[in-house]
Structure formats: structure tokens, C-alpha cells
Amino acid sequence: MLSALIRFAFIVCLAFIAAYVCLIHWGALVAITAGIAILAIPLVYSYINLARLLKYAQDDKVESIPLPSGYWEVVYFRLQRLVRSLKLQIRSIEQQHNRFIEAFQASPNGILMLDGQDHIEWCNAIAERFFGLHFKRDVMQRINFLIRRPEFIQYLTRRQFEEPLLLERMGPDSNLSLMLQAFPFGDKRHLLLVQDVTDLQKADAMRRDFVANVSHEMRTPITVLMGFLETMQSLDLDKAQQHQYFDMMMSQSQRMKSLVEDLLTLANLEANTLPAPLQVINVDTLMALLKNDAQALSQNKHTFEFKSSTPLNLMGEEREILSAFGNLVSNAIRYTPDAGYVTAHWQVNDQGQGEFSVMDSGPGIASEHLSRLTERFYRIDRSRSRDTGGTGLGLAIVKHIANRHQAQLIIESVPGKGSTFTLRFPKERLTALTT
């Protein structure tokens, strides 16, 4: 401020001296003109610098104005420093904002920000997918105009957001179950968090089905057993009849025992997610065991062929492999009518993978059942399967054992001709070693 005053005083003095000198030599008119001209110098200087500032400001280039000398240098310098620091602040706020947006976008949950009137202020891509929204198109639209489910509209109107809301059959293919909850924040705003609970809902449904199936499977033999016991209590039976009843009770107990055993096997397999160990399993010995069991089960009613066309052995958990191979062989026998053929074959295919396949000349399986056979308790013909003592857990066990051995279970079947069940093991599980 002081330097500005000194400058101003200097110009005034200069103008006064010049006017005085001119007055002495050339008269009053020249003196006034010279005085005004000298006083106008700082005005012109200021005007030029203002005009430059305006031009750079219009192009948003205030930071790059070349600094003039004199008083305006300070003005430019201060302005440039202010603009630079403001721009830095804006950039850092923008970066922070972008990071928030990126974090919200990375969230596996749908996120919507609603203003006080439930207009969508922002939503992430997951929320767009869940509700078929398009942020650019739907921004500032009222959410209840876009999500028309009555339960959702009711949830919004009631404004009691302590509990979440479950919306089923949502999404483009109506296959999503969504759990959403609104959380108040800021000035009457709400954050709507949406979670995909489809898998949880499915697991819950599966658990309910499972309990229902187990209870159903147990109820039949228990009811039959109780019936027999009541009969034996109330009737005076002779020895032969008693034996007959005991046999029938034994078979029902056996049925319950095998169901419980299968359930335990499944539970153990499900709990054990590690890959099966690499113990060498002698496939020839295994085939001999399987053949013995098969003949006992069939009681000479079927024709068998058990062949091995490779000297290679398999590496895995012997007990599990025996159970998986045995399940496939016993299915082939149980579902193939008397006088049918059953062939079990161990070989290495063209890709070097080990294959154990069981082929039968049974009734075959219609294609709509194929993909569901490995579901727990899935049976094509419940009554027929129950007649043969089946619980519908065998192939589920086989599938788990296959997974633990990185193997694939391939089911091919031609209705009326027969079926082939193949377990395909990766090369890494084959070995020339023997036990």
C-alpha cells in the first residue's frame, strides 16, 4: 500500500514539475496537456494490464500470463497463486470424489442414493443391473416410478427402515432374490443398499428340501416297523410268522441304516473340500473286488464283463474310489432287468485321461433326467428305485468323489437301449506304479 502511495506521489510530482517547466517555456495550454499526459500514464498502463488479464481469464489461462513489471506484477502473481491453489483443491476434491464413486462401483451390492423426495441422485452399476435402471436416463427420477413392485412401494411409503425387505423374482431374467434396506443420512436423504441373496435363498430352499426328503425317507421304514411291532404285540403269532415279520423288520432297519450311512458319507465328503490324496490304487485288484460284489448282487441274473485295457493305475483315495465305482456298478445291476448285460471298463482315452465306464443294457434314461441325476434324493421312478433299496444318494456321492479327484462324471443314455456312466480322471492321476 505504501509503495503504491509513493508511486502515486512520484507521478503527481513528475506531472507538476513537467507542467511547471512547460508553463515557463510554452505557456499554460502546453503545461496542462503535459501534466494530464503524465498523470494518464498509470491509467493507460493499468488499462492495458486489465485488458490482458481479461483475455487470459476468458481462456482460463490466468496461471500462464507473463508477469509484467511494476505494480501489476504483484497483482498477477497473487491472482495466479490463488487460481493455482483453487485448482489444486478442486482436483483433489475431484480425485476424492472419483475414489468414492470407484469404491461404490466396486461394491458387490447395489447402492442407490435418494434425496428427500426419493429421487435417484446416484446409483452404481450393480443397482442398474438389479433393477434394469439406466443412471444417465433415470437420474432424478422418483424411484417408486421405476421400481413398481407393490411391496417396495409400501416399504418406501411406510418409512420404517429398521427391517430389510426381500424382493423375489427380480432382475432381467426374474431369477434374482434381492434383500434391500434404506439407511437415512444427511439432509433427509437415504442410502438404499441392495444385496443379491439368490444363492442364500437357494441354499435355504435346498436345506428345507433336504430335511423334508430325509424325514420322508425315514418315515416310511419307521411307519412300517411300527406297524409290524403293533401287529406282533396284538396278535399271537406262530414261530414261522414271527420269523417272517422279523425278516421284514430287518429289511426296513437295513434300509434306514444304509440311508444314515449314505448321509454320513455325503456329509463327510462335503466337509472335506481338499483334493483327494495321491495314493496308488491297484485298479486290477479293485476290478476283481467289484466283480465279486456284482455277482453277489446280481445272483447270476446278469451277464458281466469286467475288463482293463491299460496297465496304468489310479492315484486317489482307495475307499472313495471303490465306493464310486461300486455305486455305478450296483446301479447298472439294479436298474437292468434280469438277463441283461453289464460291462465295466478301465482304459486310457486318446487324450491320455483315465476312464472307468459302466455300460448296461437296461431301460436307459430320458434326456430330461440326465442333468438332475446327481442331485440328492433324485430318482426317476421313486417306487421302482425304492423297490431296489435305492435312496437317491448314490450318484450324489459319486459326483462328490469325482470332484475330490478332479474327475468328470459323464452320463450317456439311450432310452430303451441302455446307459453308460463314465468317470474321467485327469492324466495327472494316472501312474505306472503298482501297490
Ligand X SMILES: Nc1ncnc2c1ncn2[C@@H]1O[C@H](COP(=O)(O)OP(=O)(O)OP(=O)(O)O)[C@@H](O)[C@H]1O
Summarize as ranges the residues that interact with ligand X (CB under 6 A): 262, 327, 331-332, 335, 360, 362-363, 365, 373, 378-381, 385, 390-396, 419
What are the residues whose beta carbons fall under 8 Å from the beta carbon of 410, sequence distance 6 or more?
Answer: 421, 422, 423, 424
Instruction: Please identify the residue of the shown chain whose CB is closest to the bound Mg ion.
Output: 394
State which residue, 379 or 405, has the beta carbon closest to ligand X: 379
What are the residues whose beta carbons fall under 8 Å from the beta carbon of 262, sequence distance 6 or more?
Answer: 391, 393, 394, 397
For residue 259, the minimal CB distance to ligand X (Å) is 8
Residue 126 contacts residue 148 (beta carbons within 8 Å): no
State which residue, 270 or 428, has the beta carbon closest to ligand X: 270
Reduce the DSSP state of residue 421 to 3 states and report it. Answer: strand
For residue 258, the minimal CB distance to Mg ion (Å) is 11
Give Cα 272 to chain centroid, integer Å.
Answer: 22
State which residue, 131 or 335, has the beta carbon closest to Mg ion: 335
Q: Which of Mg ion, ligand X, none is residue 379 near (CB under 5 to 8 Å by kind)?
A: ligand X
Site track 388-417 with Mg ion (rule: CB under 5 A), x = hit: ------x-----------------------
State which residue, 334 or 429, has the beta carbon closest to Mg ion: 334
For residue 281, the minimal CB distance to ligand X (Å) is 22
For residue 334, the minimal CB distance to Mg ion (Å) is 7
Q: Which of Mg ion, ligand X, none is residue 365 near (CB under 5 to 8 Å by kind)?
A: ligand X
For residue 207, the minimal CB distance to Mg ion (Å) is 23
Asked if residue 49 binds Mg ion (CB under 5 A), the reply is no
State which residue, 102 or 305, has the beta carbon closest to ligand X: 305
Sheet of 341-348, strand order: 303-308, 341-348, 354-360, 418-425, 408-414
Any idea what DSSP says for residue 336? S
Burial class (CB in 10 A: 0-12, 13-18, 19+), 304: middle
State which residue, 316 or 418, has the beta carbon closest to ligand X: 418
Q: Give the count of beta carbons closer than 10 Å to the beta carbon of residue 393.
A: 24
Give the residue carrying C-alpha cell 434280469. 338
For residue 378, the minimal CB distance to ligand X (Å) is 6
Strand 341-348 vs strand 303-308: parallel, antiparallel, or unpaired? parallel
Instruction: Retrieve residue 120's grid coordinates.
Output: 435417484
Site track 327-356 with Mg ion (rule: CB under 5 A), x = hit: ----x-------------------------
For residue 402, the minimal CB distance to ligand X (Å) is 13
How is 190-211 classified by DSSP, letter by letter? EEEEEEE-HHHHHHHHHHHHHH
Q: Which of ligand X, Mg ion, none is residue 422 near (CB under 5 to 8 Å by kind)?
A: none
State which residue, 91 or 417, has the beta carbon closest to ligand X: 417
For residue 285, the minimal CB distance to ligand X (Å) is 23
Distance CA 355, CA 338 (A): 27
Distance CA 290, CA 283 (A): 10
The binding site for Mg ion (CB under 5 A) comprises 331, 394
